[in-house]
Amino acid sequence: MKAASVRELKIALQQQPSARLVELCLQLAKFKKDNKEYLTYLVYEADDEAAYIRSVKSEVEAQFEEMNRKSYYFIKKSVRKILRQVKKYIRYSKKKETEVELLLHFCWQLRELQPPISRHQLLQNIYERQLALLRKKIDLLHEDLQYDYAQELRALRE
């Protein structure tokens, strides 16, 4: 089966009655967990971005606390999993400020991790890549925000 283009889907959806659209959204939400999470964001959390950021930050903190720290292998796997989830939440929001906030928080959590990531090259590389990505993302923001986030980024590098 060949999927229709976004343009074709948009035209077809505009012709549907609102009750049918609700039904289609619910079927889409039942199909995959990511669709349900994204729909939840759009319906409940998109209006209050600050609360969304706080909830994601608290979830990231909880995941770092629950992490298996018996070996660097398990730490690396957990860090990658957390980073994948953070990137997914960033995709839901599509706001540059939210992306910078969440990546900064992830980097702070990774930096404070015990045992230290400086003893493991792979974890250090993940950390450095996120810092480089943050630098690029900060440069795309408004000047006032750039200054504030650049200060926090400098503190991370120290």
Strand residue runs (E) in 18-106? none
Report helix angle 96-111 to 121-139, nearest 10: 150
Q: Are 119 and 58 members of one domain?
A: yes
User: Which pTM does this prediction carry?
Assistant: 0.89
Give domain status of residue 117, yes or no.
yes
For residues 86 and 78, what is the distance between their CA atoms, to the nearest angstrom?
Answer: 12
Strand residue runs (E) in 12-151? none
Q: Are 35 and 53 members of one domain?
A: no
For residues 131 and 4, what is the distance between their CA atoms, to the nearest angstrom?
Answer: 38
Please state the domain count of the chain: 2
For residues 50 and 40, what is the distance between their CA atoms, to the nearest angstrom?
Answer: 16
Q: Are 52 and 116 members of one domain?
A: yes
In terms of residue numbers, what domain contains 86? 48-157
pLDDT tens-digit map of 94-118: 899 999 999 999 999 999 999 999 9
pLDDT tens-digit map of 87-99: 999 999 989 999 9
For residues 2 and 12, what is the distance between their CA atoms, to the nearest angstrom?
Answer: 16
Size (the chain), residues = 158
Percent over 70 (pLDDT), the chain: 100
